[in-house]
């Protein structure tokens, strides 16, 4: 049997590849999530911007609407299952069933196991693991029977050992393996689930981390961390958003259960 061929008469929506889609982006108030929410709106999606900070969330919605896009502020703490369910319900009432979920909400922590308290571990687990779980739990029943695309944001720390990232690595490793599990369990429901693993991306989170962990040495450490990428700089949130757009669009219809490093060569290239 010949493989199915694309109908060449069907129009391609290159300018608006997400036209008609409903997307929810967690952590959409800043950093990578913000860039993804804005890019998805530019691509034609109606975007639920989900974040726990109301000022940041409403600011992103204003940016999207000022550019002619459609967005909805969903103020929500992803560690609270009741709030997640409520936010998804509001988005569906306004826009219809969700087609795309991007789990970008997350937090980091710098410490080895000896300096990681139980409270620190629980705090990261609540956001980075249970937050993803709650959103998956809310989205998948809606996607079943219709299909959908899920993108989880992990980290290079999910596949390699980074110094002083014990709790962060553990939780991002869970995000990666949850991706594989979802992709396998729902492949016959036409639900695709992929993962991206950024290295260091210059976001407000990086600036906050440097200020907290290296007071007075922020500029020095920023340069040092930038040089750890073989490409010689940190990535930009907008670059991550372009990869996210591809993976959540129909152009990636044959891709599921995959993890994509976006890291300036951090994982695979060995520098002299």
Annotated catalytic residue within 109, 134, 168, 186 = 168
Q: Which residues of 176-186 are buried (b: 16+ CB within 10 A; e: fewer)?
A: bebbbebbeeb
Give the pTM. 0.91
- Provide the pLDDT for residue 14: 57
CATH assignment of 22-262, given 3.20.20.30, 3.40.50.720, 3.40.50.300, 3.90.1150.10?
Answer: 3.40.50.720
Measured CA to CA, the distance from residue 43 to residue 31 in angstroms comes to: 19
Q: Decide: 165 and 213 in contact? Cβ < 8 Å.
A: no
Local confidence pLDDT in tens for the 272 residues of the chain: 333 433 333 333 458 999 999 999 999 999 999 999 999 999 999 999 999 999 999 999 999 999 999 999 999 999 999 999 999 999 999 999 999 999 999 998 889 999 999 999 999 999 999 999 999 999 999 999 899 999 999 999 999 998 989 999 999 999 999 999 999 999 999 999 999 999 999 998 788 878 988 999 999 999 998 988 899 999 999 999 999 999 999 999 999 999 999 999 999 986 54
Residues in the chain: 272
Q: Regarding beta strands 191-198 and 259-262, do their DSSP bridges make them parallel or antiparallel, or are they unpaired?
A: parallel
197-220 burial, b for 16+ CB within 10 Å, e for fewer?
bbbbbbbebbeebbeeebeeebee
On the CB side of 144, CA atoms within 13 Å amount to 9
Q: What pLDDT was estimated at residue 10? A: 37
Q: 168 catalytic, yes or no?
A: yes
Ordered by start, the domain boundaries in the chain are 22-262
């Amino acid at each position: 049997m010949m493989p199915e061929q694309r109908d060449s008469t069907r129009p391609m929506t290159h300018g608006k590849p997400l036209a008609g889609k409903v997307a929810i982006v967690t952590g959409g108030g800043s950093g990578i999530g913000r860039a993804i929410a804005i890019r998805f709106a530019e691509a034609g999606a109606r975007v639920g911007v989900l974040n726990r900070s109301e000022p940041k969330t409403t600011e992103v919605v204003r940016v999207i609407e000022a550019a002619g896009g459609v967005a909805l502020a969903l103020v929500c703490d992803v560690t609270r299952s009741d709030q997640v369910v409520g936010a998804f319900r509001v988005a569906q009432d306004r826009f219809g069933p969700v087609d795309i979920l991007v789990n970008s909400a997350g937090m980091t922590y710098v410490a080895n196991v000896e300096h990681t308290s139980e409270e620190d571990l629980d705090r990261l687990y609540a956001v980075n693991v249970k937050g993803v779980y709650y959103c998956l739990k809310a989205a998948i029943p809606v996607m079943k029977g219709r299909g959908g695309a899920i993108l989880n944001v992990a980290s290079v720390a999910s596949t390699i050992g980074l110094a002083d990232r014990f709790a962060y690595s553990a939780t991002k490793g869970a995000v990666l393996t949850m991706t594989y599990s979802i992709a396998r369990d729902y492949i016959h429901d036409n639900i695709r689930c992929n993962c991206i693993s950024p290295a260091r991306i210059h976001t407000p989170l990086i600036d906050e981390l440097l200020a907290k962990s290296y007071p007075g040495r922020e500029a020095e450490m920023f340069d040092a961390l930038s040089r750890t990428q073989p490409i010689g700089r940190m990535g930009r949130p907008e670059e991550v958003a372009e990869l996210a757009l591809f993976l959540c669009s129909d152009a990636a219809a044959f891709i599921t259960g995959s993890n994509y490093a976006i890291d300036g060569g951090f994982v695979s290239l060995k520098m002299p």
